[in-house]
């Protein structure tokens, strides 16, 4: 089923590269909610997340011909574009003030699962969430700080007041465990 979704995504990407508005709308319907979910998680501010979502889809519309299918899935490409833009915003924002001040603002409305298609995608999210749950809390925290906040080994060690070597080891072991769990889910 995932293969079918990926095939549809690949077809949509090549049609969007040819400036097909219908394909662009479909791509938006399929991927905007999870992209906005990721942006909201990284930026913590809903309005800013929606602004970046517009930038991401403008980039998709104008640069879909740059997508390289040998390097990532279309959904992965979109999500990594979004993450990169959001982290860039955070770095600019953090030039003079810390991110903690912003926590606790508006939270996004969760999307109710509707239709088979969304249920399948929700199932995938559940699998990954399950894989994250298999990590130790320390491993999970380190990986999340790197992925969602763009922190480096040294910055994570400072934030958690943990030895640098411990942070490196938590990330390495955690990432390996994540892969193992994801891979076993895929084959089960």
Partner 1 sequence: MADTPHSARFEELLPAYALGALDGEELRELEAHLDGGCPDCRRLLALWDRDLEALAEAVEPVEPSATTRARILRLGATAPPARARQPLLPWLSLAAAALLVAAVWGIAGQLRLRGELERLTMERDRLARQVTALDQQVTLARSAAERANQALQVLAAPGVQSVVLAGLGPATQAAGHTYVNPRRHDALFYAFDLPPLPRDKTYQLWFIAAGKPVSAGTFAVDARGTGSLRVDQVADVASIQAWAVTVEPAGGVPQPTGTMVLKTTVLKG
43: Cα within 13 Å, side-chain hemisphere: 26
What number of other Cβ atoms are within 10 A of residue 174's Cβ?
22
CB of 102 to partner 1, least distance (A): 13
Among 10, 28, 159, 160, binds partner 1 (CB under 8 A): 28
CB of 73 to partner 1, least distance (A): 7
Question: From the centroid of its chain, how far is CA 132?
Answer: 14
Residue 136 found at the interface with partner 1 (CB under 8 A): no
Q: Are 138 and 170 in contact (CB under 8 A)?
A: yes
User: Smaller CB distance to partner 1: residue 19 or 136?
Assistant: 19
Q: DSSP class of residue 134?
A: T
Among 108, 117, 160, 162, binds partner 1 (CB under 8 A): 108
Cα–Cα distance for residue pair 34/134, rounded to 1 Å:
22
Binding mask 114-133 for partner 1 (x = CB under 8 A): -------xx-xx--xx-xx-
User: Smaller CB distance to partner 1: residue 13 or 85?
Assistant: 85
Among 98, 104, 110, 115, binds partner 1 (CB under 8 A): 110
Which residues, numbered 34-93, are part of the site for partner 1 (CB under 8 A)? 34, 36-38, 40-41, 46, 49-50, 53-54, 57-58, 61, 66, 71-73, 75-76, 79-80, 82-85, 87-88, 91-93
Q: DSSP class of residue 100?
A: G
**Total number of residues that touch partner 1 (CB under 8 A):** 76
What number of other Cβ atoms are within 10 A of residue 85's Cβ?
19
Q: Are 77 and 67 in contact (CB under 8 A)?
A: yes
Residue 179 found at the interface with partner 1 (CB under 8 A): yes
Please give the structure tokens belonging to residue 170: 């938590």
Residue 172 found at the interface with partner 1 (CB under 8 A): yes
């Amino acid at each position: 089923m995932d293969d079918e979704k990926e095939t549809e995504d690949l077809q949509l990407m090549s049609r969007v590269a040819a400036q097909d508005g219908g394909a662009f709308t479909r791509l938006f319907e399929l991927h905007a909610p999870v992209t906005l979910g990721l942006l909201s998680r990284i930026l913590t501010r809903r309005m800013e997340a929606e602004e970046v979502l517009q930038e991401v889809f403008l980039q998709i519309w104008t640069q879909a011909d740059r997508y390289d299918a040998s390097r990532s899935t279309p959904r992965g490409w979109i999500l990594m574009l979004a993450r990169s833009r959001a982290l860039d915003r955070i770095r600019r924002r953090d030039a003079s003030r810390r991110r903690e001040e912003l926590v606790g603002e508006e939270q996004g409305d969760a999307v109710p699962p509707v239709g088979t298609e969304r249920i399948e995608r929700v199932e995938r999210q559940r699998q990954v969430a399950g894989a994250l749950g298999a990590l130790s809390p320390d491993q999970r925290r380190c990986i999340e700080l790197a992925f969602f906040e763009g922190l480096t080994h040294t910055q994570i060690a400072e934030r958690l007041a943990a030895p640098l070597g411990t942070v490196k080891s938590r990330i390495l072991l955690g990432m390996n465990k994540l892969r193992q769990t994801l891979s076993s889910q895929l084959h089960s």
